[in-house]
Amino acid sequence: MTKRSTTMSTIASWLHFSGIIIVLCSLFALGLVTMDTRWENASLAPDAPSDAEKERQEIAVVVAQTNNLAHKLNQTATETATQQWLDTLGGVWVPWPNGAPRGYKNPPLNLQPETATPETLAANLQDISKKAVAARELDSMLATSIATGARQLATQLGGDYHDVCQTPDLPALAKHLSKTSSLAALETARQWYEHQAATTAERARAIEKVNLLTRLTENMIDSGTPDSRAALAPTEAAGTTPAQLVTATLIKHAENAPAKIREATAAFLCRISAGTTPEALPGLVVENSGK
């Protein structure tokens, strides 16, 4: 009798244990189903972009379109510059570069130009310059440099460079610069251009640049800048042109500059650099990535 009771107790314990295991397995399976349902229903859509990202993406898209257009037209300088701008801006953002998951789509991006003409390329460069000048979130020095470079490249595609560069607001630029120590450098560049005017075949262009810098520096003094101009500036440094000196000076002082000053800076530097080989990012030191 005792043996039978023990056997029955063992069977009951085993059944009880088996029941617990079955219940636990059922709960585990139910949990997996629930989790899988939640994963399937979870949104994979990216977060809404910030205002800064919207602005950056808008500029990057136009730069990418211009890069493709320059490639089609074999405009190597513009293609190289726009690629550098694109890299500096971080490229065009695509949520799923390798393809969207089921139920989602990448936003449509038209990066290929509808028409490939020098006129279209010039218009695109002016659009980039305009957007960079107006940018609220982009680093001000970078924005001014891109705006300047785009305008300088546009002068290479034909048309009167005065019209392409546009007219700089010298009083506004001078007032902005009056709070800086830029007068000495600008005067040095002015005297270098005077020397060029006496020794170069393109005398008229050099004189025009002398006059442009004279008007700017005189406006600066009228705006309250202490007159620190040297009677005789240092001789032109090897490897540094007057255009490079002016560009580096004005881009440096474009930090935190409002749109009005960026526009004046880009227009002024475009005129000063007219006839020279444009740089991708005028006035900025670009680190060598090693690529």
User: How is residue 2 written in tokens?
Assistant: 């005792």
Nearest residue to 182 (alpha-carbon basis) of 238, 259, 261: 261
pLDDT tens by residue, 161-196? 999 999 999 999 999 999 888 999 999 999 999 998
User: How is residue 254 written in tokens?
Assistant: 């474009």
pLDDT tens by residue, 22-57? 656 655 655 554 445 444 556 777 778 899 999 999
pLDDT tens by residue, 8-24? 565 556 555 555 666 56
Position 287 confidence tier, pLDDT thresholds 50, 70, 90: low
pLDDT tens by residue, 112-138? 988 899 999 999 999 999 999 999 999
Alpha carbon 71 to its chain centroid, in Å, reads 19
Q: Which helix (H) or strand (E) holds 89?
A: helix 76-89
Q: Would you list the domain boundaries of the chain?
A: 51-94+111-273
Nearest residue to 26 (alpha-carbon basis) of 37, 36, 18: 18
pLDDT above 90: percentage of residues in the chain:
62
- Amino acid in position 20: I
Q: Give the pTM.
A: 0.82
